[in-house]
Amino acid sequence: MISVPGAGNGTLLMLLVPLVPLLTAAAVLAAGKRIFVRDCLSVAGAVLTCALAFAAAVGVMHGTRPDMTLCTLYPGISLRFSLDGIGVLFAVTAALMWVAAALYSIGYMRALGEHAQSRFYFFYAVALSGGLGAACAGNLFTLYLFYEVISISTYPLVAHHQDRKSYAGARKYIVYLMFASKAFLLPALAILYTQCGTLDFNLDDITTGMLPAGASPFLVSVCYVLFVLGLAKAALMPLHGWLPAAMVAPAPVSALLHAVVVVKAGVFCICRVMLSVFGIDTLARLHLGVPTAYAALITIVVASLIAMTKTDLKARLAYSTVSQLSYIILGVALLSPSGITGALFHIPAHAVAKITLFFCAGAIFSMTGKKDIRDMGGLGLQVPWVFAAFGLAALSMVGVPPVGGFISKWYLALGTVEVNNVILLAGLLVSSLLNAVYFGEVVVRAFYGRPPASAPITCARGRSTVLVLMLVSLLVTSALSVALGIWPHAVIDLIAARVLP
């Protein structure tokens, strides 16, 4: 059974957004050992997906909402696609970051002579398809399917190096995510179905959600807690351990995990559940918002404190991600217009900044072989553009103008004022100071620390072309972070017009 309400160009664009990455994955496999063709196909697929996502976004901004039910498996359970303001925000962010990651990956993988590159690009594209499919999901069943596609397709990427350490990290990664989705997420779906008789989102009004008036408050509360626990990709403590463990993966995979798809899918799904399933009124009536905000605040502060203790650069960035993701959860849990705006704005703001930070970490390692922050003294003078980009992205994480993170944290602070919660406001300010400490150490050490006694830095393969690809990618994403801070209106207008009631 296929139902196509309002089918047209918008519906076709919506379906192509997750389909093109899947076709790109197939094309990468078909390219075989033709390395140049494979790399070009990967970049072309990313560019085409990005163009489609932007075209779909234009339609949504003009008031259309494409919607298609491909098949109905059971009354109220179907494979349905629909695209609204929240979905567009995530889809455009992921697609745009894929373009940068596709270019960067070519440079990084060739610079270090990584093995199984075709397999890497294949699963990278499949993971993007999963993330974009989740963005276009019209109900929880479809969202769950694509959520699991992301988990399965990223496992080989985390285990890419195929050594003991990478297998251990990948095993922890998949066990955490699969356990959470089976132990908590599936029961949440079952409870919700018994209360609503359907799994379709309410995409018309984030105030009311999809729960009927007669739903049991106790079951609704239990269902909500199960959803928050089941969506472990959001890395809310104590279900965050998989994220630092996955840092054994190559830098482009770390960028995928932290900025492009995986964790962003987690927080996107939590935003979707809170706003399109439960709704602001239900969360406020059952007093579920404030406890969620406090849980997020604890994760923000504790993860920041742990980050300060890490000397491995990627490990520090990993705990930074754990902290930064909870800003999004906290903002939505405030249930206020400014809080929700800040939370949703932080999705692209964090994405462009964090992908830059991991690009920089990968560039530093590929050029110098250094991962320990204590060994990076003076490197800022040898690779100034890399550390300049790192510094800009770090400013966004701290929340300093004129970069994008300032806008999101400004709205988050306004949200705490709107709900008159001094504790949450103080927590946001303290966390920003902690961010400044652990990011500031890296930049200060790089530019003012003692230079390393090693020989001048060179690429592992001595090829300038691959370094240029890496450098261009990280400079572009750092520039996007600044652009998002100077011209935030497109994102804010999208949230105001197509998300907020």
Residue 202 included in any domain: yes
How far apart (Å, rounded) are the C-alpha atoms in residues 452 and 462? Answer: 20
Q: Is the pLDDT of residue 412 over 90?
A: yes
Residue 7: per-residue pLDDT = 47
- Which of 42-56, 229-243, 405-419, 476-490 has the lowest average pLDDT? 229-243
Comparing 347 with 120, the larger pLDDT belongs to 347
- Residue 431 pLDDT grade (very low, low, confident, very high; cuts 50, 70, 90): very high
User: Stretch 373-400: mean pLDDT, rounded?
Assistant: 92
Give how far the C-alpha of residue 170 lies from the chain's centroid of Cα atoms, to the nearest Å: 19
How far apart (Å, rounded) are the C-alpha atoms in residues 319 and 327? Answer: 13
Q: Is the pLDDT of residue 1 over 60?
A: no
Neighbours of 375 (CB within 10 A): 16
Q: Is the pLDDT of residue 463 over 60?
A: no
Which of 486, 465, 442 minimizes the C-alpha distance to 110? 465
The percentage of residues in the chain with a pLDDT greater than 70, rounded to a whole number, is 95
Contact 443, 377 (CB under 8 A): no
Residue 203 included in any domain: yes
Sequence-distant (≥ 6) Cβ neighbours of residue 57 within 8 angstroms: 88, 91, 92, 494
Sequence-distant (≥ 6) Cβ neighbours of residue 131 within 8 angstroms: 90, 94, 146, 150, 260, 261, 262, 264, 265
How far apart (Å, rounded) are the C-alpha atoms in residues 229 and 244? Answer: 18
Residue 102: per-residue pLDDT = 92
Residue 1 included in any domain: no
Contact 259, 350 (CB under 8 A): yes
- Average per-residue pLDDT in the chain? 90
Q: Is the pLDDT of residue 327 over 70?
A: yes
Residue 2 included in any domain: no
CA angle at 129 for the pair 124 and 131, rounded to the nearest 5°:
95
- Residue 455 pLDDT grade (very low, low, confident, very high; cuts 50, 70, 90): very low
- Residue 8 pLDDT grade (very low, low, confident, very high; cuts 50, 70, 90): low
Which of 35, 54, 185 minimizes the C-alpha distance to 113? 35
Q: What does residue 311 show for φ and ψ, rounded to 5 degrees? A: -100, -20
User: Stretch 441-457: mean pLDDT, rounded?
Assistant: 76
- Residue 32 pLDDT grade (very low, low, confident, very high; cuts 50, 70, 90): confident
- Residue 4 pLDDT grade (very low, low, confident, very high; cuts 50, 70, 90): very low
Q: Is the pLDDT of residue 441 over 90?
A: yes
User: Stretch 422-430: mean pLDDT, rounded?
Assistant: 96
Helices first, then strands: H and E counts in the chain: 21, 2
Comparing 105 with 340, the larger pLDDT belongs to 340
User: Stretch 474-501: mean pLDDT, rounded?
Assistant: 94
Assigned token pair, 279: 């709704």
- Which of 113-117, 270-274, 333-337 has the lowest average pLDDT? 113-117
Residue 49: per-residue pLDDT = 97
Q: Is the pLDDT of residue 68 over 50?
A: yes
Residue 238's Cβ-count burial label (10 Å; 0-12, 13-18, 19+) is exposed
Residue 250: per-residue pLDDT = 75
Residue 3 included in any domain: no
- Residue 381 pLDDT grade (very low, low, confident, very high; cuts 50, 70, 90): confident
Which of 268, 183, 192 minimizes the C-alpha distance to 229? 183
The percentage of residues in the chain with a pLDDT greater than 90, rounded to a whole number, is 72
Sequence-distant (≥ 6) Cβ neighbours of residue 133 within 8 angstroms: 18, 142, 145, 146, 149
How far apart (Å, rounded) are the C-alpha atoms in residues 191 and 285? Answer: 19
Residue 462: per-residue pLDDT = 44
- Residue 205 pLDDT grade (very low, low, confident, very high; cuts 50, 70, 90): confident
Considering 301-310, 368-377, 443-452, 460-469, the range whose residues carry the highest mean pLDDT is 301-310
In order, the DSSP letters of 31-43 are HTT-HHHHHHHHH
Q: Is the pLDDT of residue 249 over 80?
A: no
Residue 4 included in any domain: no
User: Stretch 50-76: mean pLDDT, rounded?
Assistant: 92
Assigned token pair, 213: 């008036």
Q: How many domains does the chain have?
A: 1
How far apart (Å, rounded) are the C-alpha atoms in residues 64 and 54? Answer: 14
Query: H helices of 310-421, where?
Result: 313-333, 337-368, 379-382, 384-398, 404-418
Residue 193 included in any domain: yes
Query: What is the extent of the structural domain holding 15?
Result: 9-498
- Which of 54-63, 450-459, 476-485 has the lowest average pLDDT? 450-459
Residue 3: per-residue pLDDT = 44
For 261-283, how does the pLDDT look when each residue is reduced to its tens digit (9 = 90+)?
A: 888 899 999 999 999 999 999 99
Q: Using omega within 30 degrees of 0 as the cis cutoff, is the peptide bond preceding 238 cis?
A: yes
Assigned token pair, 443: 């930049």
What amino acid is encoded at 188 in this protein? A
For 283-304, how does the pLDDT look when each residue is reduced to its tens digit (9 = 90+)?
A: 999 999 999 999 999 999 999 9
Contact 242, 173 (CB under 8 A): yes
User: Stretch 38-62: mean pLDDT, rounded?
Assistant: 94
Which of 242, 483, 253 minimizes the C-alpha distance to 358? 253
Residue 139: per-residue pLDDT = 95
- Residue 343 pLDDT grade (very low, low, confident, very high; cuts 50, 70, 90): very high
Residue 270 included in any domain: yes
